[in-house]
Amino acid sequence: MIKSILLTLILSISSVVSAQTLQDPEQIVSEVEQFLLNQTSSYPGTASVYVTAPAIRNQIQCEHLQPFLPSGSRLRSRMSVAVRCQSPQAWTVHAQAELSIVGFYYISNRSIQVGEIISLDDMIPREGDLLRIAPNSITDPSLAIGYITTQRINTGSPIKSNALRDPQSIQRGQAVRTIARGVGFTATGEGQALQSGAPGAQIQVRASSGQIITGTVLDNQTVQILM
């Protein structure tokens, strides 16, 4: 008796689903392609995208598809893009995509040691896939000239942003000058940086009194605290 009721219920649900239009997978492909092309608009290169149509089982045709990347994800040569629907029925599917961005990046024409300052003469442009061959590589020389290396860069290796630091940045452990500003007063002091940070970043500083305060990096020696 119970099996008969369950079978009837399953058949009833199946008939309801079949009576409605299922989601067109090609529409998902189109939405994901456009989404990824929009995501690549800030890259200095030519993007191409190929998306594999996802399997559609019981997903009802959506009124508004919303492609998105999981929190913390970044663009990769091969990746999965989630697509969410809220109405008329909530569901989520994932589409597999292949992505390339062909553009110019810069490599080192000599061996550069830690702590050296990068100049234009140290860089040579190369063309390639910015996601596969040269992720995080410098594509604009102005973002490297005058910067200080934090890692050794071998001859012919891409110059990457995570191997450089702003010459105006503060390094963890260094002595800094603090400027406290409030309504009608300014006070200066000294302290030790507990975090590294470039200009504009918020870092913690241990003041000479031992108190830990948070301020904004102004340059490679100064942290401002607003009272």
- Say if residues 173 and 196 touch (Cβ distance below 8 Å): no
The pLDDT value recorded for residue 175 is: 93
List the chain domain ranges. Answer: 20-101, 102-165, 175-226
Fold of 175-226: SH3 type barrels. (2.30.30)
- Say if residues 116 and 148 touch (Cβ distance below 8 Å): yes
For residue 100, what pLDDT band results from cuts at 50, 70 and 90?
very high
102-165 shares its CATH topology with 175-226: no
Q: In the predicted model, what is the mean pLDDT of residues 31-59?
A: 94
Q: In the predicted model, what is the mean pLDDT of residues 47-76?
A: 92
Q: Flag whether the pTM goes above 0.75.
A: no
The pLDDT value recorded for residue 6 is: 45
Q: Measure the N-to-C terminal CA separation of the chain; round to a whole number of Å.
A: 75
Q: pLDDT (tens digit, 9 = 90+) per residue, 9-26?
A: 444 444 444 447 999 999
| CATH class of the domain at 102-165 | alpha beta
Token pair recorded at residue 195: 């975090």
- Whether the CA torsion 146, 152, 153, 155 is positive or negative: it is positive
Bridge partner list, 152: none
